[in-house]
A and B are shown apart, each in its own frame.
Chain A
């Protein structure tokens, strides 16, 4: 058949769409179970990481509980999983599967979202872990933050989809995440969140009561994204935190 004929072109395009479509659809459906499982493990790893259950060695590495143990460790450390829906708080041991991004979309439409809280216990200490979701320079950033009853940060975990390697991508580096430990999300009695601040002359973060951590060089917008993600999330969970603090 003549390669330059219109009919051939149309047939070729049709065949190509069918072949490529079949391959991609087959792959997507064949692998989706494994991909889902990997994503589930990752969430458990991240939640545990935020509350300090990890395999970090030295001061540089970020190492999670390996996937073959994570399920078991998750059930042993996380004692309760709560879902806050308006004023209603229910227990749900699948709460960690809630997609916080979808819930934020629901909130945007004016409906009541389901907000998960994970309560962890380690060495007699109680942790309240909340998920966060926001925007960096290029794409989504997200993470988890572990707090105690006094609203002091016990640990955080950040991750990102496509921040610049070497700059914004460093939010998932150990030194940046460790900086948040000990900071309070309260300023006086207000829920202020934590600001990623440039030039606060406190590079090793010795001042823990200023609601600020030192920013990453060259990653202003990602840093600002982290600040606004934290303040937004804290605002969402404010009422729940208030009940925690009043309990004492």
Chain B
């Protein structure tokens, strides 16, 4: 990290753990629950959000001195929506298969409050470089939680990882299934994502007692 001063490096590192958007700032929960039944979808979503938030933070930061505060929310929303539509259309024209995979996420990215949250809390008041780092850091912190939740839900729910059967074949009863193990289909349902995130918060706060809330 010689390229970045310590302060700048913290912009990326903090959201990965102690200031995580999902488990501490309570941002971007909806999408975290909707798409984590599968590890692959979690990774795709994480990458898309890194891209959109990094770029969006730069755009907002560039415009921060000319945006009238009365309509700043509209401006922010228009910037995200326009960015996402542009990306969507370009992908549809030049990488059609990829765009089909991402189609599900387009709506979820626009409504992701993590993006609005960072625009409002950081990009409106900071320079371009710092805003970019903040965007990347927060999106990555969000992505990490997504990937952890996706990992457990796919492994326990379907017995696969990224679509590969890692625990054996549940129908032919090979691998772990030959000992009577069964997939827990419940893990695939959205409420279980809430409970997994709850447990993650438990683990995180047990390791770092400073994060514990009073009530």
> Are chains A and B touching in the complex at the 8 Å CB cutoff?
yes
Sort chain B's interface into a size bin.
35 or more
Cα-based distance from A3 to B71 in the complex (angstroms): 11
B103 contacts which of A35, A38, A41, A162 (Cβ < 8 Å)? A162
Cα-based distance from A162 to B189 in the complex (angstroms): 16
Question: Interface SS of chain B: helix, strand, loop or mixed?
Answer: helix
B82 contacts which of A9, A12, A24 (Cβ < 8 Å)? A24
Asked whether A162 and B107 contact (CB < 8 A) given A3-B66, A13-B71, the answer is yes
Question: Interface SS of chain A: helix, strand, loop or mixed?
Answer: helix
Cα-based distance from A12 to B64 in the complex (angstroms): 13
What number of residue pairs across chains A and B have CB atoms under 8 A from each other?
83
B68 contacts which of A4, A164, A165, A166 (Cβ < 8 Å)? A4
- Give the chain A neighbours of B190 by CB distance below 8 A: 164
B41 contacts which of A9, A35, A166 (Cβ < 8 Å)? A166
Closest residue on chain B to residue A9 by CB atoms: B68
CB pair B158 A35 closer than 8 Å: no
Asked whether A35 and B89 contact (CB < 8 A) given A166-B154, A167-B37, A204-B171, the answer is yes
In chain A between 133 and 179, which residues have their CB closer than 8 angstroms to a CB of chain B?
A: 161-167, 169
A38 contacts which of B85, B92, B189 (Cβ < 8 Å)? B92
CB pair B89 A218 closer than 8 Å: no
Contact mask for chain A residues 198-214; partner B; CB cutoff 8 A; 1 contact, 0 none: 00000110000000000
- Give the chain B neighbours of A166 by CB distance below 8 A: 35, 37-38, 41, 153-154, 157-158, 188
B34 contacts which of A27, A31, A42, A164 (Cβ < 8 Å)? A164
Cα-based distance from A31 to B86 in the complex (angstroms): 11
Q: How many residues of A contact B (CB 8 A)?
A: 31
Asked whether A4 and B70 contact (CB < 8 A) given A20-B78, A166-B154, A217-B188, the answer is yes
- Interface status of B166 (Cβ within 8 A of chain A): no
A20 contacts which of B82, B93, B183 (Cβ < 8 Å)? B82
Contact mask for chain B residues 64-105; partner A; CB cutoff 8 A; 1 contact, 0 none: 001111110011001000100110011011101000000110
Cα-based distance from A217 to B37 in the complex (angstroms): 12
- Give the chain A neighbours of B85 by CB distance below 8 A: 24
Cα-based distance from A71 to B188 in the complex (angstroms): 39
A sample of 18 cross-chain residue pairs with beta-carbon separation below 8 angstroms, ordered by A number, consists of A8-B68, A16-B75, A24-B82, A24-B85, A27-B86, A38-B92, A38-B96, A60-B163, A161-B104, A163-B104, A165-B35, A166-B41, A166-B154, A166-B157, A166-B158, A167-B37, A203-B171, A218-B37
Identify the A interface with B (CB < 8 A).
Answer: 3-4, 8-9, 12-13, 16, 20, 23-24, 27-28, 31, 34-35, 38, 41-42, 60, 161-167, 169, 203-204, 217-218
